[in-house]
Amino acid sequence: MGITAVGLQVLLGLLAVVALVASVWAWPLLGGRTWRSVLGRVGVLAGNQVLTLAALGLVANAYFGFYGSWGDLLGTDDAAAPPIVTGGGQPAASGRPGYGVTEVGQVALPPGTAGRLEQVVISGGETGISSPGYVYLPREYFEKKYAERRFPVILALTGYPGDARNLITRLNLPATASRAVTAKRMPPTIMVLMRPTVVPPRDTECVDVPGGPQVETYFTRDLRAAVAASYRTGLDAQSWGVFGGSTGGYCALKMSMRHPEAFSAAVSLSGYFRTAIDMTTGDLFGGSARLRDENDLMWRLRNLPIPPVSVLVTSSEKGESDYADTRAFLALARDPMRAASLILPSGGHNFNTWNREIPQVLPWLGNQLHTPARSTETAAGGHAVRQGRK
């Protein structure tokens, strides 16, 4: 039974209740002064607490989406994809999987959401990283009048450790995008829905780790090439945006600022501005102060040329620890960067707060992107883009 299964939560909750009732009934039998009675009382108290904490932990995990499977929790989840590639990618010479998108299956969309949602594994030929996710294709993608049309793309990222399904079930991104397109508040846009934890359980903070996983390159180069090879999209930065919350928000800002040739616009929901370093990350910079500074967004704005990108950051005056840093970031941003903000009077670091912001920030991001050239033409940089799925 999966770690997020409702049945498991109910079962463990019932066991905790039954154990408590049984403890109350059996307590008089353990009232003696013998060592067996003392050990019995200690065991009963410990057992009740373990069951109660486990039940609460399962419910909290399912609600916040910390871990999506037992392997994810234990660090044994293997995200490597089989070397089966769609969209024209070829296996790399080193034996690593070639770039491409392997479709695992289709996923039902919420009622009233137009389009198609595919569960996929996206493989990178340059980095050798493969990671699961979802691709949302708007209804227009399948309409005859759009048959020669390529579409802009938004890469949406969860926080750490995250579960990409939360972008669908908790943040309602496909449903919100579908309604915004129907209301003509944003153009039809493909969405790639993933978590930034592509080498679980390590939190890489979307960094190219010296001697380790090249996660930034995976998102800024491999993923874009794979998606463009499998769907009708462009490769130029003007048709690509990146969106994220918390760790995903930091990744979104950083990747657009460090790689304006990959993403021209970004949205950060309650994101931070400096790489988090703790027991989940390990040493991300190989001891290099230069790399540490280059991944510090405040340092970049003070010391490096300002990138020509559009960014939107959100926070809350009460309830968000990043409010002061968000204001400082906005104060440092200047031309040619265009910086916008959405500041709530109050709101915590949670899905409820972000759901209040998404109906505004998602159309904002969609409208920053340009529709790519027609699918029969050549993408920026001279690379032919395959038409991919119809």
* pLDDT tens digits, one per residue of 129-141: 999 999 999 999 9
What is the predicted pLDDT for the residue at 385?
33
- Quote the DSSP letter at residue 178: H
At 278-308, the pLDDT tens digits run: 999 999 999 999 999 999 999 999 999 999 9
Report the relative pairing of strands 265-269 and 240-245 from DSSP bridges.
parallel
Report the relative pairing of strands 265-269 and 100-107 from DSSP bridges.
unpaired
d(CA 275, CA 77): 24
d(CA 347, CA 270): 10
Of the candidates 206, 338, 339, 344, the residue with the CA atom closest to the CA atom of residue 270: 344
The answer, yes or no, to whether the previous bond of 28 is cis (omega within 30 of 0) is no
- The kind and range of the H/E element at 367 are helix 351-368
Report the relative pairing of strands 116-123 and 130-137 from DSSP bridges.
antiparallel
Q: In what order do the strands lie in the sheet with 190-194?
A: 100-107, 116-123, 130-137, 190-194, 153-157, 240-245, 265-269, 310-318, 338-346
d(CA 137, CA 207): 28
Residue pointed to by tokens 């104060």: 331
d(CA 102, CA 85): 5
Contact 3, 69 (CB under 8 A): yes
d(CA 72, CA 131): 13
Ranges of residues in the chain with a pLDDT under 70 are 1-4, 61-99, 375-390
d(CA 112, CA 104): 24
What does residue 153 show for φ and ψ, rounded to 5 degrees? -130, 140
d(CA 40, CA 42): 5
CA 220 → CA 217, 224, 289, 369, distances in Å? 5, 6, 23, 16
Task: Supply 268's token pair.
Answer: 């950060």
Angle, alpha carbons 72-78-82 (nearest 5°): 145
Residue pointed to by tokens 């109050």: 346
Q: Where are the domains of the chain?
A: 6-64, 80-382
What is the predicted pLDDT for the residue at 141?
96
- The kind and range of the H/E element at 55 are helix 35-64
- The dotted CATH code for 80-382 is 3.40.50.1820
What is the predicted pLDDT for the residue at 387?
35
- Please give the single-letter amino acid code of residue 169: T
Contact 121, 176 (CB under 8 A): no
What is the predicted pLDDT for the residue at 69?
53
What is the predicted pLDDT for the residue at 186?
97
**270-288 burial, b if ≥16 CB within 10 A, otherwise e?**
bbbbbbeeeeebeebbeee
3 state SS of 20: helix
Residue ranges of alpha helices (H) inside 231-316 are: 247-258, 289-294, 297-303
The dihedral through the CA atoms of 82, 85, 91, 97 has a sign that is negative
What is the predicted pLDDT for the residue at 83?
28
What is the predicted pLDDT for the residue at 81?
29
What is the predicted pLDDT for the residue at 31?
72
What is the predicted pLDDT for the residue at 70?
61
- Predicted TM-score (pTM) of the model is 0.76
